[in-house]
Structure formats: C-alpha cells, structure tokens
Structure 1
C-alpha cells in the first residue's frame, strides 16, 4: 500500500533523507543473517526494522495529500474506535468490576492497550489548547471522545502507555504555557498529588503494585528461579540477550549477529519457548541483531529527528494560526514515546506503535510545510520593502 501511494504522492525529500539513515541497520542485519538462519526468522526481523521507515514516510505522504486538521481528526477517530473496542471487550468478558480492578482484568483477559488511544487523547486535549476547538466544534462530541479514550487508557492499566501519556501531556503544557511557567508547576504538583493519593490510598492494588515494581522489572539482571523469571521476565530477557552478545566475537559485537539470531533463555519460558527471536527491551534487541553500528544509527536518527523538528523559522503570526508550537513539538513527543517504550515493549519496532510513527511523520511534514510558508512570506516582505 505504501509503495502504491509513493507512485502518486512523494514524501518530503528531507524526511526521505532522514529515513534513509535507518536503512544501514537493515542492510547489516540482512547480510549477517541471510545465510545463517531460517529465512522466515530473517524476514520477520527485516519487517520489524523496516516499520519505522515505512510508517514515517506514510505519515509524510498523508500530510502532503490531506488537510492537517482532517488528518488529526482521523487519528482521533481511529484511537476512539480502538478505545471503544477495548472498553466493550473488558466489560463483556470481565464485567464492570474492571472499573475497580483494571490490572486484574488486564491480566485475567491477557489484553493490552492501544498506542492509538493515548495519541487520540493527547490530540483531543490539544484541540482546546492549540486549535480552539477547530477539530471538534461540537462540545458534546469532543468531551465524549475524550472520556472514551481516557477510560480506555485507565482500563488498559498499561504502565508504559500511562508514562508516555503523562510525558506527552507535560511537554504540551510546557509548550503552551512556556511563558507562564507557574501554570506548569501547578499542573505538575496537582498531578503528583493525585498519583500520590492513589498509591497511598490503595497500596495493595495490583496496579499500584505494578507501578512500584516497574523499575525492578526492567532492570537487567538474572533470575534465579522460575518464579523470578515470571515476575521479572523483561529484565531476565535483557540479561540473557546481553550475555549472548558478550559471547560473540568482535565482528558480531560491532555489526550484530544478524536478522534471525535468537537468545537461549537457558530454560523454557511460560510460553514453552527456549530460544526467543524478539525481546521486550528493544535496545538489547538492536545490539543482538545489528551490533553497536545499529545502536549508533538509532541514536543518530533520534538526534537528527530532534534537529529537524527544532530547526526552522520562528513563529510568524501572519502565517501561523496559532498551532505552530503544536506541529513543532508533536514529532518530538511521538519519537520520545517510541524511544521510551522501546525499553519495555520494543516500541520502535512494535506493530502496535505504528500510529506513533505515522503521527511523527505527519506532524513533522506539517511543521516543515509551515516553515516553508513562513520563509516565503518573509522573502516576499523583504522584496516588497526593497521596492
């Protein structure tokens, strides 16, 4: 689909150049793994590593074809539909007690949240902060969709999604009220108090327990028995992956062991698998497949994305409808969400996170378009003044 779209809509050359940076790890992974491992395993890793490139370009193409407000509205609706599905599924299969015990319901049903839910909630909140209700002029529709997405975010009981949502909302508030920093302080203090009251009032709840245990679960450390493996499987996975990497020779540490490489867990996991091809922590995953070259490329890509998002002309009120700060910061927020979730759910490569890559490409494209419009307007002003 992306290839067909590219025949009719060409992404911005700056975004094409940016995405080309991520081709190097793909090439390295294919070369190192193609003749060493099963073709299916190689192809699967190649698919995961191509996701960021393809969906970043797709976001750019959507932005060049459709109106920016229509695009944001579409993402908000997609997130809302995902949220409705999650709410209906949990209430139908677990009952309304999911409202008081969301973590227990999540674990019982083995469900996960949708990244689109958090993105939609942020966009809906920003509708009032930046757009003046331009996305949803009907207040009832706006408040209804916002409540649906916030309820879904709560019911999913996802620590990762909650963290990304809080970080994103904090950044958006900072962008909006950066000249009135006391507002930011009040919001942060208020949010901290709510979280503290929640944790202290019900410290025995599964969600509070999960929040407090989160740092321990992602710490890279070995597990001594099956119980510890089940409780801290992310950290144990990462530890076994790093041990596999250290056993490799210099070339394998530098360029990785290739697509298709697996990690011997030493014992069978709860899913009855001993050799795992994909880890929850995306950074050891990058090191295993593409080595320090791949890790360096992803760090460089993040810095280049940050530079491209921040670079450009200052806001020009004659060409900006007041939304420029949003378009300037939203690519950074999307990328930050991906890099943060990469620690726990392989966020950079996770198919469930493609909405973040699309949002990143889409908002970056609109930001670049506004930059060009502002630049052309200033050139026209200079020419007029010269005359």
Structure 2
C-alpha cells in the first residue's frame, strides 16, 4: 500500500521536488547542466558495460546485452535533445569543446542501447522542443512525415521477417516487428516462454482490466481496486526464482492507473498530460519561455507513448517529472523577471 501510494503520487511529488529545487538555485541553467553531466556519466558507464559484455561473448544476443548493460536512460534522451536541437542549445550556454565530446559519447551510448522506446522518445522530444507537435500547418507536416517514416520502416522489417533469438541487429529488428502484438495481443501459451514474453505486456494489462470489473456494483470501473491491490495473473509466472502469480506494477501505465484508481484516476492523469500539451499554445514575449513551453508539450506526448510501453512516469527509473518541475520553475522565474535569458 505504501509503494502504491508513492507510485500514484509520483507525478505530483516529482514535479513539486523539481520546482522547489530549481527555485532555490540562483543559476537557472543548473538544471540543464545537471541533465547533461549526469547523462554523460551514465553513458560512459553504459558503454563500458557494453564493451565488457561484447569482449566476454563470441555471439551477441541483444536481450542478454541489454540485460547486462542497460535498457535505456531517460536522462540521456533529454541530454541528446538539448544538445542536438537548435532550440535546446538556446536554453543554456555550454563550452564547445566539451559539448562535442559529450555529444559523441551520448550518441554512441544511445546506439548501443538498441532501444525502440529511446529511439521514438528522442524523435518525439526533438519534434516537441522544435514546436512541431503543435497542431499547425508545419506541425502537421512534420508529424505526417514522422508517421510515414515509421510506417515505411515497419513495412520493410515485415518484408525481411527477422526471427526471434537471432544475434546482432536482426534480434533488434525482431523486437520492432513484434512491438504491436506485445501491446495489443494478449493471447499466450503459458507453457511456451517465447510466446509468453512476446505478449506479456498485453496479457498483464488485459488481466488488470478484467479484474476491475470484479467489484461490487462495478465500483472498480470508477475507483479501481485501490492501493495495495494486486493483479492476479491466473498462473505462476516465471518472473523470479520462486515464480509470481500476483503483481503490483504493470508495463502498461494506463492499465496500472485504471486498476489502482479506476477511470477517475485515469481521466485525471490524461488531464495532466493535456494540460502539459497545451503549453505549446501559451503565448509569451520571452523566447526561452516559448521553448520551455514547447518542451513541456513534447514531454506530454513522450508520456503518452512511454506510459503505454514502459509505464511512463510510473517507471522507477523515469525522472522526467522532476525535469517538468524544474522547467516550470525556470518559466516562472523568466516570466516574473521578464528576462530574455537565464543569467
């Protein structure tokens, strides 16, 4: 129950923490520098673990590599967007010689993650900070081109039909191929672990949605099963050495919210994302405030996507809400003082 409370309150708590911390720091560029330096540190660590795994194995299995070295890092995603986008570079000053080195290390680490989620997240945030996620003529053109490229890539991957368990890049392409079925196809063979893991996200989400109906007068549809409630998988899944039949946290964040707090909680979460997204339409005479508003809007779309795949803000390794709070604090500071730059 304690864990569920803090999980459900995480967006609010992290946003408040981010706002409070940045409000107490005189150098408002500190937030961006922390993101980049921490991302640089984690990138070096990730590259080291990747090299360590490759040197110890003759054949590279993508899943084993990612289990050993890491599956992604949200700070690296934000750091890349800040360093590679024109708008991101306008938010803070950074020494050029260090910027090139850090950017190169971050790009190498990003490639080594072989992460579908990271790849789409970088694109979403890049479009967001550039203002292309707002519903304008230019924004619609960029969004259409993005979906066109994704569709073409997926059609190509289906045409070459990569197989599960193959080493190297083909194993990564297989993960892309099965992405839709991972989310939406919940039919699994309990005895076949291959089939089980390929559809696990959809299966656990389906069980959660089925079980909120199993409440008096269907009250679970409105209020959920409550904090501390567990999803019954209806079989002992090999999630650890002992096996687990009851789980608390789901990959699908929307199902997680609905199961714990019902559709009332889900609507409140969607309103939170909608409020963030609408920041792209908030006018300002301060150029950096406009960029921050665009980035906040991009984070909303980022969360719409990651909540479906890796539980979004409810992922223990996701700190984007602290960044949201920091950005809101910087925006307040700039608006209050009518500043064109941070220092």
Give the shorter-chain TM-score range.
Answer: 0.7 to 0.9
What's 2:53 paired with? 93
1:343 is matched with which residue? 308
Q: Is the 8 A contact 1:335 1:357 kept in 2?
A: no
From the superposition, tell whether residues 323 and 179 of structure 1 become closer, same or farther in structure 2 (CA, over 3 Å).
farther
Match of residue 81 from structure 1? 41
CA distance 1:311–1:263, shift in 2 (3 Å): same
Partner deviation per Cα, 1:169-222 (whole Å, 9 max, x = no partner): 12334459x897899599859976995799589763011111121111011523
Gaps of 5+ in 2: 163-169
1:161 pairs with 2:118:
yes
1:260 corresponds to: 228
Tell me, yes or no, if structure 1 residue 141 matches structure 2 residue 93.
Answer: no
Alpha-carbon spacing, 1:172–1:102, altered in 2? closer, same or farther (3 Å): farther
**Does 1:352 find its partner at 2:317?**
yes
Work out the number of aligned pairs and report it. Answer: 325
So what's the TM-score if we normalise by structure 2?
Answer: 0.82
Aligned CA distance change for structure 1 residues 254 and 130 (closer, same or farther; 3 Å): closer
Select between 205-214 and 109-118 the one with higher mean Cα deviation.
109-118
Q: Which residue number in structure 2 is paired with residue 59 of structure 1? A: 18
2: CA distance between counterparts of 1:54 and 1:124? 28
**1:129 Cα deviation from its structure 2 partner:** 3.9
Cα drift, residue 124 of structure 1? 1.3
How far apart in 2 are the matches of 1:265 and 1:200? 31
Unaligned 5+ segments in structure 1 are: 1-41, 378-387
- In 1, the alpha carbon distance for the partners of 2:280 and 2:143 equals 24
Alignment of 1:1-387 (within 5 A): 42-66=1-25, 67-95=27-55, 103-107=62-66, 109=68, 111-126=70-85, 128-131=86-89, 134-138=92-96, 140-175=97-132, 199=157, 204=162, 205-219=170-184, 221-227=186-192, 228-249=195-216, 250-271=218-239, 272-307=243-278, 309-310=279-280, 312-314=282-284, 316=285, 320=286, 322-354=287-319, 356-374=320-338
With over 3 angstroms needed to count, the CA separation of the structure-2 counterparts of 1:252 and 1:132, relative to structure 1, is closer
- SS of 2:314's equivalent in the other structure is coil
Q: Which moved more, 1:101-110 or 1:56-65?
A: 101-110
Q: 1:198 to 1:80 in 2, by over 3 A?
A: farther
Cα 1:311/1:180, change in 2 over 3 Å: closer
Note closer, same or farther for the CA distance 1:149–1:200 as it changes in structure 2 (3 Å cut).
Answer: farther
Question: Is this contact kept in 2: 1:64–1:365, CA < 8 A?
Answer: yes
Structure possessing the higher radius of gyration over alpha carbons: 1
3-state SS of paired residue (2:244):
coil
Whether the 8 Å contact between 1:103 and 1:207 is mirrored in structure 2 is yes
Aligned partners of 2:121, 2:277: CA distance in 1, in Å? 17
Instruction: Provide the TM-score with structure 1 as the length reference.
Output: 0.73
Distance 2:106 2:283 in 1: 34
